Structure 1
Amino acid sequence: MTYLLKLLHLRRNEVPRLGLAAALFFLVQIDDGIVKSVASAVFNIRAGVENLPLMYTWIAVLFSLSMILLSWLTAKVARQRLLLGMMVGVALVFAVNAGMLFLQHSGFLVLANDLANDYYSFLFVSSEIARTLMNFQIWIVAGGICYVSRAKVFFPLLASSAVLGDISGGFAVRFLGSLLESYQLYVLATLNMAVVIALLRQLMRRYFVGQQEGDESETVGLGENLRYFTRSYYLLLLFGLSLVIFAVYTTVHYGFNVVAYEYFQAADDSETKITEFFGLFFGLTGVATLFVTTFLLQRILRWIGTGSVYLWVGVVYVLIAVMLLGVFTGVFAGISGLEWALMLAFLPVLAIFIGNLINYLLLDSVVAPTYQVLVKLVPARNSDGTRMIMEGSFMLLGGLVGAGITALHAHEILTMAELFALLLSMGLVVVVCGYLLTRSYTTELVKAVREQNIDVEDDQAMQALKGLLANDPDFSRGLLLHRNDGVRQMGIEMLRQSPGPAVEQVCLELFDHENVRIRAAALEAFTLSSADASAATAAVLGRLDDADGEVRLSGVQTLARLIDEAELGVDDRTAIGATVVGHLTAESQAGLRAECLVVLTRLDHRESASQRDEVLNALLADDEDIEALIAGIGAAGRIGAVQAHTRLLECLSHQYPAVREATVHCLGVLEQDEGLTALMGMLGDPDPDVVAAVVVRLGRAKSLKQRMVDELSQRPVKQWQGLLGALIAQDDEEGLNEALVASCRERLVQASRYLVAIDRLEKTGGPAVQLLVDQLRLQNSQVQDGVVRLLGYLGDVGVVGDLMERLGAADEEARESAIELLENIADRELLAQLMPLIESDRETQLTMAYEVSGWRAGELDEVLGYLLHSSNVWTEIATIWAAFSLGREALFDSVAGELAQQAREVMEEIKSKRGDAAMAEDQPLTTMEKITFLKESPFFASLPLEELYHIALSMEEEGAREGVSVIKEGTMGDKMYIVVSGELEVKKEGGPRFAVLGESQVFGEQALLDEEPRSASVVALGDVHLLSLQRSSLERILRRYSSIAFNMMRILSQRLREAQATS
């Protein structure tokens, strides 16, 4: 079972969903097979095939109106209700038709000829529209079901279930047609629909996730979409071809009905025979569809190319028309040597059977999926609207054209042979237009690439591009010469993935281009495809002496790829080694030297071994040369320089996040135990990019899996969150899921305790207590993010995120639906413990927290005592400060030895100042007092405690007496200030006062961002106490804590907007 799940990329919790969905799709398509077989047979025999053209007209018109109505209802009715309502409506149509047929069969209802024809017309049209809408809606269900699964196999499995249902429905009619009457088959379909509705209700309630209104991307109006459509030669061709093919499809199917009717009408049990015949046809159609979609379709698309599909569809229709013409004009009967004497009577029905079978396969299995690929070239802005215009129009007009053509035969204007001659001419039109579409598709493809409007995940489009790149040097050249950097970079990636003579020729030609960036791009895109490696090697080596450093670097990187990808001769390897060694000198740029190390190591160039060690050590030696250090770290990882391991461990504490991030990747590649263990400690790094890199690397460290599991309960929340992400990345469902869920439950219990603690603390109040409350909320937010990540892993991360947003909806029904969906696609118990963190109503949240945690905090000392045992140092520090501010110093006597070193230092600092109460006013502010002032300032209020702590350490205390200018207009400044006590006025020199600054307000912050003169003076109105932060100190902090920079940028941006709004 486990092997099968891994093979299908399914999770165990997705199996019930798949089983339920597969059963639903199977049963729906059984109904489809039954209804279309029986409805066609009843109408043909009882109403006559001469009325089919009129029915085709009604179906085309009513289906278009139904789609318009559905579009309107979609905006008015919830998707789940609309789908269920549609299915109930389909069941009612089947039931009404079953009842009418029963009344006729039993003799309770006798209809006059005209009225009977009207009823049979209603039966046929209503059944066709009902089953078509049923199929249309069920694939909306598929979208919602597949949306909650990241398993790409989900959609193909549902499609396979649907095809198997089609096969079963057809063959059920074939074998039951002689045993059951038509009304009984309709009753069977109605009962089956009742089961479908029951399954659908369960499936949608538990697993269906529809798109929210706010999720839809920006679209444009009908007028603009219509203009876009009418001005696009490509779309007009695609529209015209779709219309003609739809009309051809209708014509062939009409011929099938006519021939079947003529063949079976003389039989005593003609309705039974033709019903069985239709059942056999639709059953075999299902089998053929399964075969084509499973084995042939992808091969066909690769062989002939997506853009050429319509051309070859036209060719097939021409061959079908030729075959049918030959049969119905008697040409085949006159061919001597054919021993078909006994088959001549069966030949027309056999020929039309084969022709219609291919007709069905072409439309459903080839044209429909190809159309979906071709319309992807429509820009996203116009996609939905343009598709609605096209699809609604060609289905309506194609149906009407088909009805008009078949009416020519129904009214005896054309014979059957003449009808198929007309079909032949239509096939030739498809061939010609298909050829034009092929050329237009190429043009649109090129345009889409140049406008970066192509989906790289679209296999068919990328396959077509690869063919274009392989055969069209001008296209390849145009990508590399494009002025847009994004297009050029996309071209580089595409050319490297599509090696061939044309690509190699273009790149070699552009090596000598006058534009530096194009030379570099050609080198990056170059891939050897010919057997002559020497010429390519010489051409690349020639670029190592280029005047531009970027080109030289690209040249060495290209050599590294050549060594890996091509079989180079001894002479070529020698030439590369001799040339590259010359670039190891100190005069070369750091990145170039690092790449040279990689090339020489891959060549196993022994002559330069000692020199390479020296160069690597030089790159890693200087902590101040960031470019060289990062280049050296990258090279160490790529060449497996284990000897540099000690130095790399030192780089983990470098002040620049980029250096730490590069080191993390390097240690992950080297896979040394000491390095991987050190990475676990980096999960607490202040830079999110560094943490993300650690998670990626630990996610690949299988040797650390058990140790990471053991550490889950011991690490602080931030590090726990990283360990959780790394273990999720290991994707070991059998070995890890239970441990991960258990760890999340443990953290959620703690988070609920924090909610209880927050409620008790907020009743106390005070700045120090608020600092602790904010820290606890941050901890809970990190726990919530970690649990949601696990829920996403158990279900689908995008869906879980979507549903989490819906939990905050005001609509109680939507909220309950989201909860049930989360319970079914992820873990029910885990979600129940997560709910207190999500709940917005405070009273309900607290009740939930009591239930989850089993704890009701009574006394404040109990709360503070619990929080002092936190595994997070910042929570400990915040608790210490809150306890001191509330006069609860005695709490520390029993736990002082258990506190983290940093927390003990804070505690001793506070005690030292509190111990000398007489001098307290004259003593410097403690770090926690500075943090309190920072937190009360709007400028710093949103920063977390960890960031505030490091800012506070760099802040200096200053004082000024009345009349002293703290900032003087026109002078250069490098400080910002925060008011601890006192007041200052802001004014222009010689001008009136226009602002007064008081406690906790910030001024002079612009000096941290620019070196412009001060725009106003700030003068003390009395004795003032200030905290100041120099630009140089902030820059030092930001090197390590880049998140502070983003927070301050957001704050400054908000202040700027507020200033602009009031000016």
Structure 2
Amino acid sequence: MMQRLLRLLNLRRNEVPRLSLAALAFFLVAVDDGIVKAVASGVFNIRVGPQHLPQMYSWIAVVFFSTMVALSWLTTRVQRHRLVLSLFVLLAIVLAANAMALLGVETGAVTVGDGFYSFLFVSSELIRNVAGFQVWIVAGGICFASRAKVLFPLLAASTTLGDIGGGFLVGGLGRVGWDSWQIYGLAALNTLFVIGLLRPLMRRYFVTPAGESGSTATMRQNLDYFARSSYLRSLFILSLVLFALYTAIHYGFNVIARESFPEEAQIMGLFGAFFALAGVATMLTTTILLRHILSWLGIGNAYLWVCVIHAAAALLLVGVFGDWLPVSALVVIFAINLLNYVLLDAVIAPTYQVLMKLVPDRNADGTRMIMEGGFMLFGGLLGASVTALHAQDVLTLSQLFTGLAVASVAMAWVGWRLRQSHRQVLIQAVKDQDFDVEDEQAMQAMRQVVSDSVEFPRSLLLHADDGVREMGIEILKQNESAAAQVCEPLIDHDNPRIRAAAWQTLGASSVDQTILDHALRHLDDEDEQVRLSAATWSSQLVSGSELDPQQRQSVIDAVAPRLVPDAGNAELQTEFLVILERLDDADSSTARALMLESLIESTQVGEIVAGVDVTNRTAQVAIFLDQIRGHLHHHHPAVREAAVRCLSVDAGEGLTLLIDMLGDPDRDVVDAAVETLTGRFVADGQDGGRTLLAALDGASVKQWEGLVGVLSQGDDELVEALMPITRQQLIEAHRARVIVELLTQQGDEDETRLLRDQLELAIDSARQSAVRLLGQLGDVDVVADLMERMGEGDAGARENAIELLENIGNPQLLGPLLPLLTDDVDEQQQQAWELSGWQEAGRRIDLDTALRHVLQASDPWTQMAAGWTALRLGRPHLLQQLRDQLGEDVPEQVKEILELMSDHEHEAEGDQPLTNMEKITFLKGSPFFAALPLEELYHIALAVQEEAAKEGTCVIEQGSLGDKMYIVVAGQLEVRIFGGNDTEGSRMAMLSDKQVFGDMTLLDDEPRSASVIAVGDVRLLSLQRGDLERILRRYSSIAFSMMRILSRRLREAMAA
């Protein structure tokens, strides 16, 4: 049961204490809020009187604004957790001082005037607002460190329950005879308890999201942006006036409460009941009603309707206080103040947040400061000014509420203007491609705009910018009725790109005969993209809808004749195959089978991918399983990726093959393997998890990293089993660091490069796997964010990131992980020796022992690199020991090295051919191939051929068309350019060991731009055009290396 609940909330078991502690802290802070505001309001109303409230409202507005400015300044200079704890300590001191003063007044030991009660009221309001503000910052930080983002609303619910509990507590304690100082003192004691909870919570779990690195506007630029935006001006005016209306209605409630309840305990009970009910109403609104309200009204209309409700409420109050309606004034003002409270907290506040999302990122923070600081200050002062008119007997309550009704009607007009400008800003955001189609609230507002008029989405599809058109497609896909109105007239548009966009957008959830006829006719469209879009729409239709016999036959009649082998449009033929398979057309079954087989067995990459995709979409993988398995070794990554995705249904060798594909050099193929393995792992449950855990033993470095990525998404039991394995891998990473240090001290850089690079790869893999596991235990984005901070140049930021990782991370992993994250090389080496276990009683292991250890590695490529290094460093006895130990179980990669142990075999002379390992060594030293790991170099070395040239030989002739590129193994060559009848030419450059030449003509198919002539006897490695193209497809890092080399050559040529 517990495990099921954790899965539902996307929680790890280790997160439960954190969130329980946080929920309790937030609940108690909200209890304080309910107590403080009820007691302070009751005491002030009885002992001073509501006629002084306007002055208090002014003070609150000014003091709160000043406090926010001070906090903004302090936030940039004091660490967040220290600032929060310091503020809560200060709040506890103020609460305790107020409680002691109330006690002194109660016992007669202290005489106070109205000034103290004013301070009590203002400080209480300030305390509860600052505490609430800070605790939500804590909530954001804690939830940021958790992958369960549902926890933020859960913490919000606990806070609301605290509000309710605090309100009812005041009423209950008042009824049993507690004095105001006792209830207020309870809040002070409760705050001390909250500090005790927050301290470990902040120290261990609080993480602040890193700010965006992009440029932000200056305050002047933000002011200019605000002044020029009618949208923001309308939003500011409405927020300011609604805040003032809220203040005025709340003031009226205080006046009637004071008239109705002359006793302090009674009025505190009333305020307690009010704030408790307000909490209940707020929780119901935010958790149940708000989504439906905003969906029904529309985000842009929310302010307009709130103003209309305020106008109706004010008119009702006018009727009550003008003696037109014979109902209880207290009941009506209580209900309307409750509505007033809920509208501001549960409707206006979240609506404001959504509307502010349309402000560009560059201006967002600065504009928020201007807006929120402005309407809190001026809204409070305006509310104070309005209520002062009644407090000074200038207006009666009936006249005051009449003025509020008039103001609400005026604001309704401003709300209508906001609705219009919101629509314009939303449209402009889409056209500027500054609109997030993944944001549900933004899409909800956009659906309202689209449903109001089809002209706007139509303009998006007609837009010249491809990005805007794509955004229009995504928006219309989520509004099928509007999509039908917009797209039906456009499917016959003159512009083929617009025709294609219309078909891509049009919904296919129901059958419309007219549109179906258009789709079948457009299968003959002159534009290939339109034909494909129409075929894709038809495929979606037959997959998701039931066609009547006549419609079914019409589709078959239109599609079957177009099923043409070797048509050169594999994607289109794919859709035809899917359509006919979905319709179960018997007449074309033989043709479909032949075509699918021809696609899968084609030599064209696009056709193979299309064929494999069809087998997946039509559940025919089992029929072509052998061919699909064969494509796992195809030279093109797109083919391998498509084949990998089919292995989800391969019950035989599928799991083993997927694990093998985790070692693929292409990132997309590896991601597809991880995704497919994850799907199988979820389906297989615990059995699948145990199988993958067993596969870790003997996995290569890349496979290990992928397997950990899959397993880390399992349940707590599986992750607990993975923890010690990952920790051991981190220990091995430190041992690898020690071995790298010993190899570096050896001094033979070329001889040890392969092993050093392989060990660095293993270190990086262990580090990344541990980070991934840490992320799954908390939140992947948080850990990635902290890792990014550790890479910053600021030492303070790095130290803070390490401290936060220590706070939120698992100590079992963090102990060996943190030394691998530091930039201090000396510290890394020192920690590596300590954690490796190879430094005892002041003695360190020697290189022989280190090599012997790495020769026992589970990764065969690391074994291969270690064997080659041992051989090159003159330690063949280590290889003999390995042969004796492994017997017949020697990995294929190591066999070649064992065959070279004879001194005569590995002491190469000039005329002997290079071994495969020697080729790998030269390739590793070349700038073209230096970034590749041993596993990839091994396969490339099999493709290169060794050649020799005598002195004076023209290896490359200027003006010829070449089909090879070369790497210099030994000797020197000169690059000469000949012009006209010049027989000597001009020397442009000299080439020596490990340099590459002849590559440019393989890329641009142009004649050779220069001749390359051997200065003496030279040895070369050559690579044919076809092999290079295959390698470039398989290993993208080589393409980047080529780009860097060509770019450097271009700069040198321009400089010359």
TM superposition score category, shorter chain reference: over 0.9
Does residue 384 (structure 1) correspond to residue 377 (structure 2)? The answer is no
AA of the residue aligned to 1:706: R
1:860 aligns with 2:840: no
The change in CA–CA distance for 1:998 and 1:323 in structure 2 (over 3 A counts) is same
Within 2, Cα distance between the matches of 1:432 and 1:183?
A: 47
Contact 2:13 2:716 (8 Å CA) reproduced: no
Change (3 A) 1:237 1:536: same
Structure 2 gaps, min length 5: 979-983
Residues 599-654 of structure 1 show CA distances to partners (whole Å, capped at 9, x for unaligned) of 111111112111111111111122x2122111111111111112111111111111
Query: How much has 1:1023 moved relative to structure 2?
Result: 5.0
* Farther off after superposition, 979-988 or 631-640: 979-988
- Out of 779, 782, 793, the position equivalent to 2:765 is 782
CA deviation map 1:464-499 (0-9, x unaligned): 323443442223322322222222223223323322
CA separation in 2, counterparts of 1:592 and 1:814? 54
C-alpha contact 2:637 2:1034 (8 A) present in aligned 1: yes
Cα deviation, residue 1051, structure 1: 5.5
Q: Which of 475-484 and 177-186 deviates more?
A: 177-186
Q: Find out whether 1:1034 has 2:1024 as its counterpart.
A: no
Residues 1:796 and 2:779 are matched in the alignment: yes
Change (3 A) 1:10 1:1017: same
1:251, distance to aligned residue in structure 2 (A)? 0.8
Q: Distance in 1 between matches of 2:1045 and 2:30?
A: 58
Task: Verify the 8 A CA contact 1:74 1:82 in the aligned structure 2.
Answer: yes
Change (3 A) 1:1053 1:872: farther
- Number of residue pairs aligned between Structure 1 and Structure 2: 1033
Paired AA for residue 585 in structure 1: V
> Equivalent residues in 2 for 1:96-245 (5 A)?
96-111=97-112, 116-177=113-174, 179-212=177-210, 215-245=212-242
Matches within 5 A, 1:365-380: 365-380=346-361
Q: 1:60 to 1:914 in 2, by over 3 A?
A: farther
Quote the residue 1:571 is aligned against: 550
Amino acid in structure 2 at the alignment position of 1:792: G
1:973–1:91 CA distance, 2 compared to 1 (3 A): farther
**Is the contact between residue 931 and residue 1037 of structure 2 (CA under 8 Å) also seen in structure 1?**
no
Partner residue of 1:592 out of 572, 588, 612: 572
Aligned partner letter, 1:889: P
- Per the alignment, residue 933 of structure 2 pairs with 944
Counterpart amino acid of residue 903 in structure 1: V
Matched with 2:857 is 870
Whole-Å separation in 2 of the counterparts to 1:1028 and 1:513 = 54
Letter of the aligned partner of 2:709 in structure 1? G
Q: Is the 8 A contact 1:687 1:1043 kept in 2?
A: no
Among candidates 448, 458, 469, match of residue 429 of structure 2? 448
Query: Secondary structure of 2:754's match?
Result: helix
CA contact (8 A) 2:508 2:537 kept: no
Distance 2:1048 2:307 in 1: 62
Which residue of structure 2 aligns with residue 682 of structure 1? Answer: 661
Distance 1:808 1:546, change over 3 A: closer
State the SS of the aligned residue for 2:194.
helix
Aligned equivalents of 1:1055, 1:47: Cα separation in 2: 85
Q: Output the CA distance in 2 between the equivalents of 1:984 and 1:315.
A: 87
Counterparts of 2:297 and 2:792, CA distance in 1: 50
Distance 2:9 2:702 in 1: 34
Post-superposition shift, 1:303?
Answer: 1.8
How many angstroms apart in 2 are the aligned matches of 1:499 and 1:553? 21
2:742 corresponds to 1:756: no
CA contact under 8 A between 1:234 and 1:440: conserved in structure 2?
Answer: yes
The SS at the match of 2:406 is helix
Counterpart for residue 302 of structure 2? 309
1:538 corresponds to which of 517, 530, 543: 517
Report whether the alignment pairs 1:1010 with 2:993.
no
Contact 2:802 2:818 in 1 (8 A): no
Tell me which residue corresponds to 2:981.
none
Asked if structure 2 preserves the Cα contact closer than 8 Å seen for 1:30 and 1:170, the reply is yes
Q: 1:468 to 1:226 in 2, by over 3 A?
A: same
- Superposed CA deviations along residues 736-757 of structure 1, whole A, max 9, x for unmatched, are 2223223323322322332232
Structure 1-normalised TM-score? 0.92
Aligned mates of 1:45, 1:957 — CA distance in 2: 101
Deviation track 1:852-897 (CA, whole Å, cap 9, x = no partner) reads 4434462322222222222223212211221111111122223234
Cα 1:206–1:541 change in 2 (3 A) is same
The secondary structure found in structure 2 opposite 1:183 is helix
Residues 1:232 and 1:619: Cα distance change in structure 2 (over 3 Å): same
2:870 aligns with 883
Residue matched to 1:336 = none
Query: Structure 1 CA distance, aligned partners of 2:1052 and 2:81?
Result: 44
- For the pair 1:286 / 2:279, whether they are aligned, the reply is yes
595-604 vs 923-932, which moves further: 923-932
CA distance in 2, matches of 1:971, 1:541: 52
Residue 915, structure 1, aligned to residue 905, structure 2: yes
Match of 1:633 in 2: 612
Deviation at 1:933, TM superposition (A): 3.5
Unaligned runs of 5+ in 1: 334-343
1:478 equivalent in structure 2: 459
Which residue number corresponds to residue 561 of structure 1?
540
CA deviations 1:92-128 (Å, max 9, x no partner) are 22223223333333333324xxxx2233222222222
Hey, what does 2:1037 align to over in structure 1?
1043
In the alignment, is the contact (CA less than 8 A) between 1:174 and 1:277 conserved in 2? yes
The 1:1055/1:928 distance shift into structure 2, 3 A limit, reads farther
Deviation at 1:585, TM superposition (A): 1.5
* 2:599 corresponds to: 619
* 1:822 equivalent among 805, 811, 823: 805
* Residues 665-676 of structure 1: pairs in structure 2 closer than 5 A: 665-668=645-648, 670-676=649-655
Q: CA deviation at 1:835?
A: 3.2
Structure 1's 227 and 968: CA in aligned 2 closer, same or farther, altered over 3 A?
Answer: farther
Hey, what's the Cα distance between the residues in 2 that align with 1:891 and 1:751? 22
Q: Measure, in 1, the Cα distance between the counterparts of 2:737 and 2:466.
A: 50
Q: Work out whether residues 978 and 1028 of structure 1, in 8 Å CA contact, stay in contact via their aligned partners in 2.
A: yes
In structure 2, relative to structure 1, the CA distance for the partners of 1:618 and 1:331 (3 Å cut) is same
Counterpart of 1:643 in structure 2: which amino acid? I
Structure 2 CA distance for aligned equivalents of residues 1055 and 52 of structure 1? 78
1:678 to partner: Cα distance: 2.3
Comparing 788-797 with 378-387, which one deviates more in the overlay? 378-387
CA contact (8 A) 1:146 1:155 kept: yes
Q: Report the counterpart of residue 337 of structure 1 in structure 2.
A: none
Deviations 1:14-34 (A, max 9, x none): 111111110111111111111
d(CA) in 1 for partners of 2:903 and 2:531?
A: 62
Q: Which of 921, 930, 939 in structure 2 is aligned with 1:932?
A: 921
Deviation at 1:582, TM superposition (A): 1.0
CA contact (8 A) 2:203 2:807 kept: no
Structure 1 residue 263 corresponds to structure 2 residue 260: yes
* Partners of 1:590 and 1:631 within 8 A in 2: yes
Matched, 1:733 2:722: no
Quick one: distance in 1 between partners of 2:571 and 2:292?
44
Equivalent of residue 905 in structure 1, options 876, 896, 899: 896
SS in 2 for 1:258: helix
Moved more, 825-834 or 305-314: 825-834
Q: Which amino acid is the alignment partner of residue 774 of structure 1? A: D
How far 1:1053 sits from its partner (Å)? 4.8
Q: C-alpha separation between the residues in 1 aligned to 2:564 and 2:424?
A: 49
Aligned counterparts of 1:991 and 1:223: Cα–Cα separation in 2: 64
Selected match of 1:603 from 580, 583, 588: 583
- Worse overlay, 70-79 or 411-420: 70-79
State how 1:430-441 maps to structure 2 within 5 Å. Answer: 430-441=411-422
Cα distance, 1:994–1:645 mapped onto 2, change above 3 Å:
closer
Cα distance between partner residues in 2 of 1:44 and 1:812 = 54
> What's the offset of the Cα at 1:928?
2.9
**Structure 2 counterpart of 1:596, which letter?**
F
Matched-pair identity in %: 51
Letter in 2 for 1:174: G
Q: Offset at 1:195?
A: 1.4
> 1:529 deviation in Å?
6.5
Contact 2:928–2:1038 under 8 Å retained in 1: no
Going from structure 1 to structure 2, the CA distance change for 1:916 and 1:738 (only over 3 Å counts) comes to: closer
